[in-house]
Chain A
């Protein structure tokens, strides 16, 4: 089955700096890669996603890149703000069964 590895597990950045989270996946048939943000005590919220036919997608301060050949994808947050502090999860969707496999999460702390 699919296996998703996420790094780093914790990330501390100064406000205004950039944050990068990286994920690798094992199943070359996976075709959809969402990113979720989970604040303390809240639900995971979809913040951006990318499909396998696209190499990069951007939405304001966040962007995601996908390298299908290397089977890895990354989340980039620019000009970080304290409200970006949360746990971020990457995930990969297998082509069959609509099954999302999540990475282990990255706890991001933005220091003012």
Chain B
């Protein structure tokens, strides 16, 4: 009965590789997000999708490309990984269009680039 799930939970990879993180929510929400939490615990939004449409795109390198095949899924693909990409990536969702702004987070994916 997990509300927001992510895979994988841990990802260890070498510089230059390409990797993907997947997110799914079963809350019936129409808006999904990707956040990055750095080593100092600072949480910063990267992207937001509403009904498969990109609505927030922060100043994130082009190597990061989100994809939303349907409103229950939001994936994050990262090309040419760099050491500075090491962080915990959280997916979240909300029912943004109906006056219900509460965001619920997935368990996170800890990405380590070596």
Binding site for B on A (CB under 8 A): 32, 34, 36, 38, 42-46, 49, 87, 89, 93, 97-102, 104-105
Q: Tell which of B43, B50, B94 touches A89, judged by Cβ atoms closer than 8 Å.
A: B43
Listed stretches B12-20, B61-69, B77-85, B101-109; interface member: B101-109
A44–B36 Cα distance when bound, in Å, is: 12
Please indicate the chain B residues that have their CB under 8 angstroms from the CB of A36 in the complex.
105
Please indicate the chain A residues that have their CB under 8 angstroms from the CB of B31 in the complex.
98
Given A43-B107, A98-B50, A104-B41, 10 further pairs, Cβ under 8 A: A32-B101, A34-B101, A34-B102, A43-B105, A46-B102, A46-B104, A98-B101, A99-B48, A100-B45, A105-B41
Please indicate the chain A residues that have their CB under 8 angstroms from the CB of B41 in the complex.
38, 87, 104-105
B27 on the interface (CB 8 Å rule)? no
A42–B37 Cα distance when bound, in Å, is: 12
